Structure 1
């Protein structure tokens, strides 16, 4: 556990020192939401509000998580002697989730201020947002671990990532729309459990595939 915490701390230090990626993501996030606000003048239906929010979050997560393993290229052989593959990927998954969750909260705050606030059931909406962040961060972390070994990383990220995130995105968007439509937990309990199950499958698949890609 100490090694996992050290890996998470290392990723935090690396991102903090290289502030350009973080600044770029925040600038991208703010400018995208502001452009959306200017295009719709802040008045949109609940369906459009929900769809735009998840579209913005999707593309922001791609920019935020795709760099997970690209910055590790020079440290690859060093990690072989320090940590097991399971520890490395678990540290990456935890850090990617926390990173994306912080971005999601910032995105939601800016989005609510500019585009209005139709959220009624905050705990259920946040629960669905957390499960969506787990799915997106896990999927893009897994794809990033595969793509960083190839020469065309950006193409591989798009080709491999799109099929993986489809179930997460569909379930998250449907759940959040029903939550905004005043559904209670018992009415969408099946969808929430399904989304959680998809997250677990993606994480399990990541643990199965990563040791092979890391040593190849």
Structure 2
């Protein structure tokens, strides 16, 4: 099982490396969005605005990055029926999507901090919250992508199904990061961090429950 999951992750990595247009497009979208934000605000924003803009940019970047998860599998789906279990496929997708989005988030944070200023003091707490936020966003959009993959209007279904799922993740992640920027210690927001982790676990569990039905439907 572990070997097949690793092979599926390697396959996604090779496909993305060979088809460099999606990666280039996401990086261009990310850089242009941050630069447009910088030009609009001239780099002088409050901590509240800095935090809100960062998560808005990350949200829309994650939609573009993760929405393609299952679109590229359209011609391979029947082939997978004879090779892998649905649980192996979705676990590989979840791992790859999380790592992919977290790398994008780090790149975004670096560029954003250079252009918009860096109010971060507690890096460890902010990165922990960022990890949990990326885990929730990547899991939610992977689950929604697997469902929308079977419909004719994929982009519409992504928006309709994804919005209610990511709301609790966004509320908790934005609230936590604002408190961290405001000087809160990790122990002071421990409850919110555990809640965000619980929401991530629920989304991942739902993904494992729903995916076998949508994959072979």
TM-score, normalization by structure 1: 1.00
Counterparts of residues 65-80 of structure 1 (less than 5 Å): 65-80=66-81
Equivalent position of 1:39 in the other structure = 40
Equivalent position of 2:137 in the other structure = 136
Equivalent position of 2:111 in the other structure = 110
Equivalent position of 1:158 in the other structure = 159
Counterparts of residues 1-216 of structure 1 (less than 5 Å): 1-216=2-217
1:45: Cα distance to partner? Answer: 0.1
Question: SS where residue 117 of structure 1 aligns?
Answer: coil
Question: SS where residue 74 of structure 1 aligns?
Answer: coil
Stretches of structure 1 that go unaligned for 5 or more consecutive residues are none
1:185: Cα distance to partner? Answer: 1.1
1:176: Cα distance to partner? Answer: 0.1
1:186: Cα distance to partner? Answer: 1.3
Question: SS where residue 69 of structure 2 aligns?
Answer: coil
Superposed CA deviations along residues 34-82 of structure 1, whole A, max 9, x for unmatched, are 0000000000000000000000000000000000000000000100000
Superposed CA deviations along residues 146-185 of structure 1, whole A, max 9, x for unmatched, are 0010000000000000000000000000000000000001
Runs of 4 or more consecutive aligned structure 1 residues displaced over 6 Å after TM superposition: none
CA distance in 2, matches of 1:82, 1:198: 31
Stretches of structure 2 that go unaligned for 5 or more consecutive residues are none
CA distance in 1, matches of 2:117, 2:156: 36
Question: SS where residue 149 of structure 1 aligns?
Answer: coil
CA distance in 2, matches of 1:145, 1:57: 21
Superposed CA deviations along residues 114-169 of structure 1, whole A, max 9, x for unmatched, are 00000000000000000000000000000000001000000000000000000000
